[in-house]
Chains A and B, each alone.
Chain A
Amino acid sequence: MPDISAWFNDLLSGNLIFTPTTLGYYWTGLVTTTQLVFLSLVIGLVLAVPLAIMRSSRRKWISLPVYVYTYVFRGTPLLVQLYIIYYGVVFFDGIQQSFLWPIFREAFYPALIAFTLNTAAYTTEIFRGAIKATPKGEIEAARAYGMSQGLMMRRIIIPSAFRRALPAYGNEVIFMLHASAIASVVTLMDLTGAARYVYSRFYTPFEPFLFVALIYLCLTFAILFFFRFLEKKLLAHLKPQTL
């Protein structure tokens, strides 16, 4: 173990920018970015499935509210949403005394809320498109079996919609990772925040930003492989047949 740390210190000696301290910042940044993106995607996905079903409903009073929500969140920049949620909430009188304050006091939760609402809006629209695109034949076959609307949704429409939505959703995951780079405007030390800190401390833009760009690239590759794996293995039986 001492060997490794000696080797490591040796490797880092003679440069000011990649020190154990700054690498520690990058590590904190990586952890924050991963947590933020992962949690917002999971919660966003859980929200998006029922919202997409509501959005595909023929009843206006069910689909319209969801449409308004997705329209607002897709129609405004994420940065603006983040500012409103982080700085805007404090203008409500008495928020500091309310039970919500422990959540809004930290920068992490307002950022998580903004990211979640944003990704849920996009994911809702992705799924809604996939649900709409269900082949007529599948629905007719389900009806012919006497399936109820609910059963048909659960067994036929949702699973095949998932398959169709997967490539578009993979893109959304990558976009979300990249969009998370704005978290540092609300004092979060994410990957970009770490790079900005090192940049402003050592006045060197290239090293820190190139370094985190590489980390983002690696993360993106991991996401790409994960989705390719999902598409190939888990949902192979739903793959469009080429015969």
Chain B
Amino acid sequence: MHALHQVLHAFFNPHSFTLALPDVWAGFQVNLRMMFIAEALVLVFALFVAIVRGLPGRGAKPLRVLAIAYTDFFRGTPIILVTFIVGFGLPGLQIGFISSRSFTVYGIVALTLVYTAYVSEVFRAGIESVHPSQRSAARSLGLSYAQAMRYVVVPQAVRRVIPPLLNDFVGLQKDTALVSVIGVAEAASLSQQFSTQNGDFASYVVAAVFFILITIPLARFTDHLVAEREMRERAQAF
């Protein structure tokens, strides 16, 4: 009984909730901004990396190698190290524009670098899943390689990979809290400050609830897309 009471008091004190809420919410808005900006950048860069990796011909080999090296490096390096390298390394370089950004910007850069590597693999799998006969059909109409990719292959690939892509975005959203280690004042770090001042842990729970609240709709939306596709495929089989 005593233990339960202690847990309730330490994590779920209603008074502490109310006190922590404004601070943590202010911090969470930083998380939201980082998520949206990083996700938009990741979509563009990841598609670019995936397309470069699939370029045909011997001439494009250096580009392909570069794309592979990029993906290998950023998928293999723990995100916290990338965050250190970007967040402490770039300011240390002292080159004007690059070195004078805010920690939030460095956080976004670190997230974008790492998740571009993950998501480019998702896009690549999608592009490879489009049957070669689609490319043949497009090319035999006289479309160039780039046109065939743009109008025929990539649109089909993107549709197919939306569920795994949204999965990666759930990871990205949570990792906005991780990059606070370099000093971004976001939900996790602000709730830690509040916890130290207030002497309990309710602020952590508040922050957790915020993250969960935006993850759940995304997860359900992904489920919905998957279920919808299954329905369609089953309908086609008949």
Asked if A and B are interacting partners, one says no
Question: Could you list which residues of chain A lie within 8 angstroms of chain B, going by C-beta atoms?
Answer: none
Question: Could you list which residues of chain B lie within 8 angstroms of chain A, going by C-beta atoms?
Answer: none
